Amino acid sequence: MRERFGDRGAESFSTTLPAMIEEMKAAPEAMQPSKFWQDLNRRHAERMASTGIANFKRTLAKDYFTWMRVLPWDPQIRFLIGHLPPAASLRAALGVMSPLKHRHIPLFEGFALNFLTRLVWQYAGQECPEEIAALSEPSVGNPPAIRIGGRLVSQDLANSILEYKSVEPVATGTICELGGGYGRTAFVIASLRPTVRYIMVDIPPALGVAQEYLCQVFADRKHFRFRPFGNFETVRDEFEASALAFLLPHQLKLLPDSTVDLFVNISSLHEMRLDQIECYLSEIHRLVRPQGHFYLKAWQVSKIPFEGIVIRESDYPLERWDRVYRRLPKVQASFFETLLRKPKN
Ligand SMILES: C[S@@+](CC[C@H](N)C(=O)[O-])C[C@H]1O[C@@H](n2cnc3c(N)ncnc32)[C@H](O)[C@@H]1O
């Protein structure tokens, strides 16, 4: 399956990753991966050693936002069945074994993946027909081969389109995403808004995967690839000319105030300790320009494995922002989503 990622992508990933891991040593404790993410990253390294990076949409993605371990009474499934006509749910049920087996995915996780993907795809098609018609899942990353009407469909594309609709009026200028995983949301926003500059910020290996993925799917755009730098002035021209930029978390500190029009964080801060959340929220506040926006989507309540802590929605210190909305997102009914505006002064 290497060809789907490309030999150059795989080689570039394996040379960039050690440099990212080395540079990450300079990050403060609050930006380092929590014990939970240290454990996941160790497992991701093992997965990549055995199955290669080429299959990341079947392997790493299930720790990002591709749901494969869902039971029939999961809140997402209940939401979707409640919001779709019975015929759509029946079609999804009939497709539970299609395909029967996905390489690299355990059998029963594959069935859950097939069912949920078929539900969420039909729901996104009902809610956002234009965007669903406009985009297709890139083959890079070897996505699970689930087809509806002969077309490759995915949870990641459907969920990212729903998220795009949540920020659509403010998705302009410079967008920065922290903890963006392999780049599913970046792919959708940068496809539907081709003039934005998109800055991806993550820890390795996610940043390395996102860099190879997005640089391949947007090969014709200008890229500011990851590199260590100590002073923004030394990279300013290239950074500002780029359409896609890739940074480690502590490199955010080198960017000037008010660099960002829209900051995005999805399913990421809720997996960090409170000191980490506070550190990132203060950096996000500094980076967003006055009247700019911050979109946050997270579990209403999350338990962080290994850290022994529970993070609740009320724990996020968001008082410095004006609230545009706070609501339950579509599909992930146990999450909340909020769009915040930074006051003028
Ligand atoms: C559950 S995944 C979600 C990925 C992506 N937002 C999505 O929805 O597909 C959490 C993300 O947070 C990132 N992350 C974990 N700890 C981090 C840290 N200390 N600083 C920055 N990002 C971190 C992970 O690498 C991963 O990309």
pLDDT for 7: 72
77-127 residue pLDDT tens: 999 999 999 999 999 999 999 999 999 999 999 999 999 999 999 999 999
Give, in degrees to the nearest 5, the angle at Cα 318 between 303 and 276.
Answer: 50
pLDDT for 207: 97
Taking 70 as the pLDDT cut, the residues of the chain under it are 1-4
Q: Is the CB of 203 under 6 A from ligand 1?
A: yes
Q: Are strands 244-247 and 197-201 parallel, antiparallel or unpaired?
A: parallel
pLDDT for 4: 61
- Give me ligand 1 centre to Cα 180, in Å: 6
Closest C-alpha residue for ligand 1 atom 23? 179
State how far the alpha carbon of 17 is from the alpha carbons of 14, 22, 101, 225, 239, in Å: 6, 9, 31, 12, 20
Amino acid in the structure at residue 13: F
Q: Which ranges of 193-243 would DSSP assign to H, the alpha helix?
A: 206-217, 236-241
Closest C-alpha residue for ligand 1 atom 12? 179
- Give me ligand 1 centre to Cα 248, in Å: 12
What domains appear along the chain, each with residue ranges and CATH number?
160-341 (3.40.50.150)
Q: Is the CB of 267 under 6 A from ligand 1?
A: yes
Are the C-beta atoms of 330 and 123 separated by less than 8 Å? yes
Q: Is the CB of 329 under 6 A from ligand 1?
A: no
| SS3 at position 229 | coil
Q: Is the CB of 68 under 6 A from ligand 1?
A: no
Residue of 44, 64, 280 with the most ligand 1 atoms within 8 Å of its CB, for mutation: 64
Q: Is 141 left (phi over 0), alpha (psi -120 to 50) or beta?
A: left
Give, in degrees to the nearest 5, the angle at Cα 268 between 101 and 175.
Answer: 105
Give, in degrees to the nearest 5, the angle at Cα 13 between 11 and 16.
Answer: 110
Count the Cβ atoms, other than its own, within 10 Å of residue 328: 14
Dig out the tokens for 324 from the structure.
């545009």
pTM equals 0.97
